[in-house]
Structure 1
Amino acid sequence: MESKIAKHICLKNHPVAVLRADSMPEQSIAFKRGKWGCVVALIKAASQGKIAAAAKDTTVCMGGRAGLGFQGYEHGWIEYFLSTGNDKIPHSEFYKKTPELAKIFTETIPKVESPACLVFKPLDMVGENEKPECIIFLVNADQLSGLTTLANYDRVSQNNVQVNFASGCGQAVLYPLAAEEKGEETCYIGMTDPSARKVISKELMSFSIPYSRFVEMEQEADGCFFATDTWETIKKRI
């Protein structure tokens, strides 16, 4: 499956398809059970042409388990780690001003049907009988501009792209996963999580599209502003 959008925005990596699966594919890149790893690294690997996968028992990071929909946050620790810390957590992230605000965040992120496994696969490796849940683009500012404009191109409303606070994988995976499950079409900008940014190149952000909306945007890609002189000028510097 090739992407017209990827061609128009001169994407140098692969759009990443996120698929539900009953088990991790053989030869897929995955974290060893019990060993911590950042889920964003799996997305990055897929954008570089590899197949990666995650399941609950291979995802040690609490933010990763929540960000992939495997399990909600367990309270008593996470709200302090995300905020001010306490006597038992001297090194916290200070992403929320108070533990109360952090707890509200953990309680209000989207809930999805818990997958047995999520597979991250280059879009052009998706088979005819496979249906992704969402598509993730890792893009620079110019490419993000194109995707955001395209997401609003055929819509009456102007708020068809959102940026929500979450872990990097929560932004890139959980929000569009929930949107696809509910039949919603909102796209999501992600990788604003400072912890996730340590794993990817400094110029990259994520743009995630529920799969049903991705199909629609693909159909619009050839007849929109991508054919204008303005976009041609931008393409030359991407």
Structure 2
Amino acid sequence: MESKIATTVRLKHAPVAVMLADDKPADAVQFTPGKWGCVMFMFANAVKGRTAVFDKETYGCWGGGVGLGFGNAYLQFPGGVDCFAHFLSSGNKQWEKGREVGKAVAGAAGKEFADNFLNGEGYMQGPDLVHQWLEEIPMTENRAPYVVFKPLAGVDTAVELPQTVVFLANADQLSALVILANYGREGMENVIIPWAAGCQTIGILPGREAASEKPRAVVGLTDISARKYVRKLLGAEYLTFAMPWQLFVEMENNVDGSFLQRHTWQSLLE
């Protein structure tokens, strides 16, 4: 299907549909089982016209497993959740178990991961805050075996229905999308920017919103690790804007007669 919003705000990159599926799509790209990969690499492939698929063996990394709804994949992190909490914050070299696991990691993982494991990524001040964050993450077990990223243009809604539609937007486009998400609604917080991994802000977080009575859009790709990985593929100026299907349809129906057809927005397009 084509998106009226995408055309009107002149997206450079094609919108992507996130779907659950019982069957693996033909000719879909997929990570090798057990091999590391960033889910946002596959998102970039979908932006460029490919279909990507994931299952419980091919979600790429622990955060990706969580982000795509394959349960609490952090349990599989080297040393378990406690080591992950130190990894994301202040590092594992400060406690005995962390140092022991770090020795094994040093021999099996890349130099950057080994350094981050011991010294921490510094994304949170300490492991206690990471544990609190993990309590807020909506750990999900999908009702279907596959998660699919597919160009929206290739989706036939008579046959398959997206869970989420994801745009890549620059600053002007993001501003327009935030306004449009609020255009037909009461309140001023119909868009959220949660702190989470790039894949989580296009996966389980808009998925959680989809289950609510008043689903909100989720701004993402604020994860600087993911930004580092996809920078050369997509450009440095974009954030993701993920809309649960219900909200996407609502916004599509609100384009006509809105500010998008008025002179202020048109002047930004010139």
Which deviations, in whole Å up to 9, do the C-alpha atoms of 1:41-91 show, x marking residues without a partner? Answer: 111111111111111200131110011111213212211111011123314
Which deviations, in whole Å up to 9, do the C-alpha atoms of 1:159-201 show, x marking residues without a partner? Answer: 0000001111011221111111334411010011111111232
Letter in structure 2 aligned against 1:224: S
Post-superposition offset of 1:145: 0.8
CA distance in 2, matches of 1:71, 1:169: 14
The secondary structure found in structure 2 opposite 1:58 is: coil
Question: Matched residue pairs, number?
Answer: 236
What are the equivalent positions in structure 2 for 1:69-80 lying under 5 Å apart? 69-72=69-72, 73-74=74-75, 75-80=81-86
Post-superposition offset of 1:112: 3.1
Post-superposition offset of 1:110: 1.4
CA distance in 1, matches of 2:171, 2:262: 18
Post-superposition offset of 1:20: 0.2
Determine which of 124, 128, 140 is the counterpart of 1:96: 124
2:165 alignment partner in structure 1: 135
Letter in structure 1 aligned against 2:132: I
Alignment identity in percent? 41
What are the equivalent positions in structure 2 for 1:1-238 lying under 5 Å apart? 1-72=1-72, 73-74=74-75, 75-87=81-93, 88=99, 89-114=117-142, 115-127=144-156, 128-200=158-230, 201-236=235-270
CA distance in 1, matches of 2:261, 2:196: 35
**Structure 1 pair 181/111, CA: closer, same or farther in 2 (3 Å)?**
farther
Q: Report the aligned-residue RMSD.
A: 1.3
Partners of 2:66 and 2:139 within 8 A in 1: no
CA distance in 2, matches of 1:33, 1:26: 17
Post-superposition offset of 1:23: 3.4
Letter in structure 1 aligned against 2:92: N
Which deviations, in whole Å up to 9, do the C-alpha atoms of 1:111-134 show, x marking residues without a partner? Answer: 334241110011110022111001
Post-superposition offset of 1:135: 0.4
Look at both structures and tell me which one has the larger radius of gyration over its CA atoms: 2
Partners of 1:167 and 1:196 within 8 A in 2: yes
- Structure with more of its chain in helix, by fraction: 2
2:114 alignment partner in structure 1: none
Q: Which runs of 5+ in 1 are unaligned?
A: none
Partners of 1:176 and 1:187 within 8 A in 2: yes
Q: Which runs of 5+ in 2 are unaligned?
A: 76-80, 94-98, 100-116
